[in-house]
Structure 1
């Protein structure tokens, strides 16, 4: 039985990846420090013989007994609310955490895939974004802690590949959505649905002309799995090129939820990207991958998930003490 380590296993994408590898017959080792992850996302796996979980921060030394065939590094805050609260930990998990896991991969002769992001492109000057684009990133702006952590993560991963001959893969993830997202994590889709369910007006930052491209989680996981199993070591965009403005998206959510809220506008946060659309030519040609789930179908599944949550979760505000993670 092949063995895979998934960091960030209790998070949104990490938990779906654990499900996929269980389905494929792997022995899955999940690891998460639970800063932003939630054990509820993987509780259905805990009784399985081919799943085990480590409560651990990968920014510290990482040890896993036994052999490993694959490592997927998905341990990182991914929403602006999170990485603005824990900027030091965000930088550490992208640098120290990645270094620790690359060392583990080398020791175990494992193939390692890192979760990079479309944020490496910053506020892009080309559209759509290809993997050859170097980006337009402000390293000292509020989003720099996340953007530069991911850019360093790519650089050290490629250094291990070229210098040590380590088998590595780099996925650049564009906006992904689906069940198990956190309602109050600040990302646009759960924010809109949460506001609609609470009967609040939907908040659009800026004039709403900025664009995003939303990929359903099952499509994203399929692309990641194919990339891991490929022989391609360079970055690959995995996302849905079906682009929409934030204002149009707000109207879609209002229609989906059957509510009659207004859309209100607030100032655009500093360095918020104006355009986000992946060029997925490489994914199509190298992986034979493209998204299958259209936005209407994916949004319905996601809305039904949020609607099924207990009411207290809909109104719950997070009050975690993040001080120890910012040292």
Structure 2
């Protein structure tokens, strides 16, 4: 049977080997990007991006418009340097302008001298960070600043490194009385050496000015009287007091090496015997011993024949000297003390006059390596810093007695007024 093929037009299309593209319309080149932007709300996101970019560039700090440092300058100054000279309180401030406060670190700031220094810095308008491990310091010495936004307290041992951004460093951290520094002599010398290294490293890192509170003990049992800063001293390097004496001498060496070798701005103060409120009771120092013993109706202990001499400055005088040294332009070292010289027996008589005329004196054998004479020559401080002590012993001692009486017996009478009147 013969099959019949039926032709259907839609099943067969003529083929052609010639490609002819669809001619483009002349307006399609312009309209196509616009249609793309309008599609799926792309226009809204584009406008939002423009607005955000404009807002960002408007808020760029004006400091970025300053002329950038050249490449050599950047290499020479890889870290920010705090210019403390512009805050120098010794200079005159234009009328109507308030002095800009500094950010100051005080190591050992909860101690006797440190707490009085913190009071004065806070009063001046500085922000103060106190670092103390409370071995001899006491929170009560600085707790009246706890509500102040410009005050911070950190429990820390300077033997361990510390990272802070500050303009000035007052380095006072170290036990200063024989009872305390003999308690752990290895720890004492570590505090003087490693602690000073850590604080000098911090000063170098942040460009801070550094002040070391050294001591008259660097002169040892002096063969020169009175002692001037150029005197090298007479120190026993293996004695029971050497952890403190030689520790402070090494701290001075480190300070000067950082100054000469690393360009750190440093100051060195050699502090002579200081007394006043907030001293540690029974710390072995002669003034606090005499005052505490007389108040308790105990005999005042005089070691040796009582003819050893000391010079006693009130704490407020020392604080003024430290601040003038820090703000001045001289490295030091500077003797900071009262050149008025008293024997131990004369001091005991002044304490008798102040507290109890019937107080008794008891003699005991002298301690090892106890200096026979100690009197500062403060000519350098007078000439270069314009500093000299103002408070006489017979005026300052009653203010210290008032503080001791309050802490021993809880007698608050006139204590706060006595302390505040000293500054």
Tell me the TM-score normalized by structure 1: 0.94
Are 1:302 and 2:400 an aligned pair?
A: yes
Superposed CA deviations along residues 145-193 of structure 1, whole A, max 9, x for unmatched, are 0000100000000000011111000000000010000111110001001
Residues 1-327 of structure 1 aligned to structure 2 (within 5 Å): 1-64=101-164, 67-311=165-409
Superposed CA deviations along residues 11-63 of structure 1, whole A, max 9, x for unmatched, are 00010111111011100000000111111100001110000010000001112
Distance 2:167 2:315 in 1: 24
Distance 1:312 1:294 in 2: 27
The answer to whether the Cα contact below 8 Å between 1:199 and 1:259 also exists between their aligned partners in 2 is no
Q: Which residue of 1 aligns with 2:22?
A: none
Q: Higher strand fraction: Structure 1 or Structure 2?
A: 1
Distance 1:261 1:174 in 2: 27
The answer to whether the Cα contact below 8 Å between 2:136 and 2:280 also exists between their aligned partners in 1 is no
Task: Count the aligned residue pairs.
Answer: 311
Gaps of 5+ in 1: 314-327
Instruction: Tell me how far 1:307 sits from its aligned partner.
Output: 1.2
Distance 2:217 2:322 in 1: 17
Instruction: Tell me how far 1:89 sits from its aligned partner.
Output: 1.4
Q: Which has the higher contact order (CA 8 A, sep 6+)?
A: 1
Q: Alignment RMSD, CA only?
A: 1.1
Instruction: Tell me how far 1:258 sits from its aligned partner.
Output: 2.2
Instruction: Tell me how far 1:259 sits from its aligned partner.
Output: 4.0
Gaps of 5+ in 2: 1-100, 412-423
Secondary structure of 1:85's aligned partner = coil
Larger deviation: 304-313 or 162-171?
A: 304-313
Secondary structure of 2:129's aligned partner = strand
Secondary structure of 1:23's aligned partner = helix
Runs of 4+ in 1 over 3 A off after TM superposition: none
Secondary structure of 1:183's aligned partner = coil
Distance 2:312 2:155 in 1: 31
Secondary structure of 2:239's aligned partner = coil
Distance 2:186 2:409 in 1: 33
Tell me the TM-score normalized by structure 2: 0.73
Instruction: Tell me how far 1:310 sits from its aligned partner.
Output: 4.2
Distance 1:37 1:269 in 2: 25
Secondary structure of 1:308's aligned partner = helix
Larger deviation: 113-122 or 85-94?
A: 85-94
Larger radius of gyration: 2
